[in-house]
Structure 1
Amino acid sequence: MNDTAFDFDRYDRIRPIRWTGDALELLDQRKLPFEVGYVRCDSSEAVADAIRALTVRGAPAIGIAAAWGLVLAARSVDAADGAEAAAKLQPAIDHLNAARPTAVNLAWALARMRRVLVSAGSDWRDVIEAEARAIADEDLAANRRMGALGAALIEPGSNVLTHCNTGSLATAGFGTALGVIRAGVAQGRIDEVFAGETRPWLQGARLTVWELQQDGIAPTLIADAAASHLMKSGRVQWVVVGADRICANGDVANKIGTYQLAIAARHHGVKFMVAAPSSTVDMDTPSGELIHIEERDPGELFGIGGNRTAADGVGAWNPVFDVTPHDLVDAIVTERGVIENPDAGAMREAFGG
């Protein structure tokens, strides 16, 4: 099999976001893997709540959901043209934007929706619905493209480690880092896939291993704390992760725990790849030091699956993301191409000023 030609459908069976024509249905990722069900959202407020509650998660999926949330908000707006509608929809845009502040795709998708809305005429409702659909379709196409590009960097017979969930569940389909892994498995480049559990929400244990199973890929789950030992054993040649934001100098914000994987990978001579759509690139933010790191309820650390594991009266710190400096990243892969050894110059060449 060549580097790009393989059966996408065999490795792309899950859809976390469904537009019915009058509502948005979101696969409830809080209940996976033991219960597969969709949450129906009839309003932009419901979509914002679902984003905040992690019913839908993953930077690309959040942006797509927010775009459809704006379509829902438009149902209650009377306006002669898009410019008038944009002014009336601004509160809904602000509310959706505030749901998850770190993931740049959320603001990117809403800005794109507003941009086409402002220039639309009396058909503005049709225009924004078509734009929401285009955002989803383009994401799926981008994921398939970057999957092929990223897999081409991996030597046949390699093993990989991934973190959090970056697959169909986090995107329109196929996935970012998991898209690279899917393509690598299909091409015979990847033999074994390791997935870190990803505390405190266990996206790796609950979502990634389940998702890979659906495609006939048998992953090996490890405790987050076992990653360095795994690398030291020589059983992993690549760490492949996604991103919630990539800065102008190549710094990467991603799920908490990514930074320590990058440090361990560099120490053990393991390559470190970031796969994310170009919509994740934020050339207006010079470095990771300027990224707002979201913190969630410390209570999420006190137990697992509703069962408390920590003593009463203890404190906790619960940042959701961390920032990996660009000099620990071997390659950034987007649908536009591969940036090896990313820095400000390489990012500027690929994405402009």
Structure 2
Amino acid sequence: MALEAIKWNENKLYILDQLRLPLETEYITVNNVKEGWQVINKMQVRGAPAIAIVGCLSLATELSQASFKDKHELLETICEKLQYLVTARPTAVNMKKAAEELTSFTKNLYNDKVSVTEMVDSVISWCQKMLNYDVSTNKKIGDFGADSILKSAGGKNVKILTHCNTGSLATAGYGTALGVVRSIHARGCLDQAYCTETRPYNQGARLTAYELVYDKIPGTLICDSMVAALINSHKIDAIVVGADRVTSNGDTANKIGTYQLAVIAKHHNVPFYVCAPTSSIDLNLAVGKDIPIEERPHNEMTDIAGIKIASPGISCWNPAFDVTPAELITGGIVTELGIFKPAELADKLKA
């Protein structure tokens, strides 16, 4: 049975509470946009694609229960709630782009000769389609990435390193960077998948490790500080990571710790791939320094499961993301449309 982080059934939204993994498996019912904002902000659901899907489906389930006096009230409500959802996690661009696309779609409906009920149904249908589309997109990313890595490896089995969580738990299913690992494994060509613990929130140790065990993929967990030593002592064929936002020049914001992996990969001549759907690519931003970087609460660093591990009184700096410069993305940016070098990304996507 496939691992499902997001369930949608008869206009009801359920999300797997990722704060309880890997020790407990519990689904939460999301009844409205406020609750959608909360589960995104609290990181009960995370991963750029999943954030957009859950945000839009939280709107869909609220619309299914509400009544509106006219189309104008409906349009204003949708626009307002979408903008609110964007504020839950500002670094990931997927929710922002989904909000812009759904707002445009809704305005077109407003101008058409449709009833309020038909307008609501169309918006809900638009949100529902995000689930299936995301899985299809991820499988394409997985195949493109696998093709490139296995070709470079010359037909031998490969060892892959990944960071944070980019699998079924971060998407509608299958995953982006972890989708590449899945595709390689499905072909019988994976020797080992190494995942970093991903401090301070341990998405690698809690979530990626959980997915590897769940799907019986050969995996090994390492501390974040072990990456250079691992690459120096083992033959790592590629590093694959996800992205929360990619700018026009190919600079990439991803989970904190990604930048240092890219630096290490460059030093050791290991191909470094960024795996992301085109919905994560923001051609409106020129370079990575323009990406807003979310800072998380200090207790994510100082406490684990409510137990303090740091000295009381110490100050903290806790950015959730860092930016990897385009020149360090040596393997390329893997999308559902193919693999692009950072320098050609904007021209290829605008074509």
Q: TM-score range by the shorter chain?
A: over 0.9
CA contact 2:277–2:335 (8 Å) conserved in 1: yes
Alpha-carbon distance in 2 for matches of 1:233, 1:146: 29
What TM-score results when the alignment is normalised by the length of structure 1?
0.93
CA contact 1:66–1:109 (8 Å) conserved in 2: no
Aligned residue number for residue 80 of structure 1: 70
SS in 1 for 2:57: helix
The residue type paired with residue 280 of structure 1 is: S
CA contact 1:77–1:88 (8 Å) conserved in 2: no
Structure 2 residue 347 is the aligned partner of structure 1 residue 349: yes
- Out of 1, 4, 7, the position equivalent to 1:18 is 7
- Out of 134, 139, 149, the position equivalent to 1:139 is 134
- Out of 135, 138, 147, the position equivalent to 1:152 is 147
The residue type paired with residue 68 of structure 1 is: L
Aligned residue number for residue 213 of structure 1: 213
CA contact 2:294–2:319 (8 Å) conserved in 1: yes
Aligned residue number for residue 120 of structure 2: 125
SS in 2 for 1:119: helix
Aligned residue number for residue 99 of structure 2: 110
SS in 1 for 2:79: helix
Aligned residue number for residue 294 of structure 2: 294
1:165-314 matched pairs, under 5 angstroms: 165-314=165-314
CA contact 1:29–1:56 (8 Å) conserved in 2: yes
- Out of 52, 59, 78, the position equivalent to 2:41 is 52
**How far off its partner does 1:262 sit?**
0.2
Alpha-carbon distance in 1 for matches of 2:68, 2:22: 42
CA contact 2:293–2:319 (8 Å) conserved in 1: yes
CA contact 2:191–2:218 (8 Å) conserved in 1: no
CA contact 2:11–2:60 (8 Å) conserved in 1: no
Alpha-carbon distance in 2 for matches of 1:113, 1:27: 25
Alpha-carbon distance in 2 for matches of 1:221, 1:316: 26
Alpha-carbon distance in 2 for matches of 1:327, 1:195: 23
**How far off its partner does 1:232 sit?**
1.2
Structure 2 residue 55 is the aligned partner of structure 1 residue 66: yes
**How far off its partner does 1:316 sit?**
0.5
Alpha-carbon distance in 2 for matches of 1:111, 1:70: 14
- Further displaced range: 289-298 or 63-72: 63-72
Unmatched tracts of structure 1, length 5 or more: 1-11
Alpha-carbon distance in 2 for matches of 1:183, 1:22: 32
Q: Identity over the aligned pairs, expressed in percent? A: 40
Residue by residue over 1:94-136, the C-alpha shift from the partner in whole angstroms, topping out at 9 and shown as x without a partner, is: 2211100000011111222222211123211111111111112
**How far off its partner does 1:19 sit?**
1.4
The residue type paired with residue 160 of structure 2 is: V
CA contact 1:22–1:42 (8 Å) conserved in 2: no
- Further displaced range: 303-312 or 123-132: 303-312
SS in 2 for 1:240: strand
Residue by residue over 1:203-242, the C-alpha shift from the partner in whole angstroms, topping out at 9 and shown as x without a partner, is: 0000001111111112100000000111111331211000
CA contact 2:18–2:45 (8 Å) conserved in 1: yes
SS in 1 for 2:200: coil
**How far off its partner does 1:80 sit?**
3.3
SS in 2 for 1:192: strand
Aligned residue number for residue 95 of structure 1: 84
CA contact 2:241–2:274 (8 Å) conserved in 1: yes
Alpha-carbon distance in 1 for matches of 2:179, 2:11: 30
Aligned residue number for residue 7 of structure 1: none
CA contact 1:151–1:189 (8 Å) conserved in 2: no
SS in 1 for 2:240: strand
Unmatched tracts of structure 2, length 5 or more: none
Alpha-carbon distance in 2 for matches of 1:54, 1:135: 20
The change in CA–CA distance for 1:225 and 1:80 in structure 2 (over 3 A counts) is same
SS in 2 for 1:140: helix
CA contact 2:161–2:240 (8 Å) conserved in 1: yes
- Out of 13, 31, 40, the position equivalent to 1:42 is 31
